[in-house]
Amino acid sequence: MAAAAPPEKAFPVSWDMFHRDCRALTWRLAGAGPFDALVTVTRGGLVPAAIVARELGIRVIETICVASYGGGAGVAETQQGNLQILKSVTDEIVALGRGDGGKVLIVDDLVDTGKTARVVRDLLPKAHFATVYAKPMGRPLVDTFITEVSQDTWIFFPWDTGLAFQPPIAGGA
């Protein structure tokens, strides 16, 4: 098995930066509600969902479990594999807002190609979809986001990294 090519551009995100960006997302969402429930896309959406739910006072939290990156034989964590819905949302969540999710907030960490977002959108077409970060291919599928990065950028989230030396960009990093 060949090693995966490193991403073209790296965007490391610290815990402090991520928390700040999640609170900024919440400020934008405050005027879009109120929401009766929050659905988070696991696993990446768990951390921002906890922050957003706390800040907005949302107590009904549901997960949709989707696997799209790595984890399979021969698939690196930086490569999208086949999309799998491991767990869908409950009928009670779908029923909110006249059966189309209209009173539901969906939260994820990132929209990349839009494949995962499309699956979630199909389940809850009227829900408000929010991500902390967005890439151009997936951006049209979300209603609210904080930071856009180029499609060839890999975001290194704080839960995926450890402290290590970073070579200067001018040195080819």
Q: Where are the domains of the chain?
A: 9-158
Q: Which of 109, 122, 152, 160 is catalytic?
A: 109
Is 141 part of any known ligand binding site?
no
Is 44 part of any known ligand binding site?
yes
Is 109 labeled as catalytic in the residue annotation?
yes
Rounded Cα distance, 132 and 26, in Å: 10
- Overall fold of domain 9-158: Rossmann fold (3.40.50)
What pLDDT score does 74 carry? Answer: 44
Q: 5-9, 20-24, 149-153, 154-158: which range is least confident on average?
A: 5-9
pTM of the predicted protein model: 0.84
Q: Check pLDDT > 90 for residue 7.
A: no
DSSP class of residue 143 equals: S
Q: Which of 21, 36, 108, 143 is catalytic?
A: 108
What pLDDT score does 61 carry? Answer: 97
Instruction: Report whether 25 contacts 49 (CB < 8 A).
Output: no
- pLDDT tens figures, 21-72: 999 999 999 999 899 999 999 999 999 999 999 999 999 999 999 987 655 4
Buried b (16+ CB within 10 A) or exposed e, 16-55: eebeebbeebbeebeeeeebbbbbbbeebbbbbbebbbee
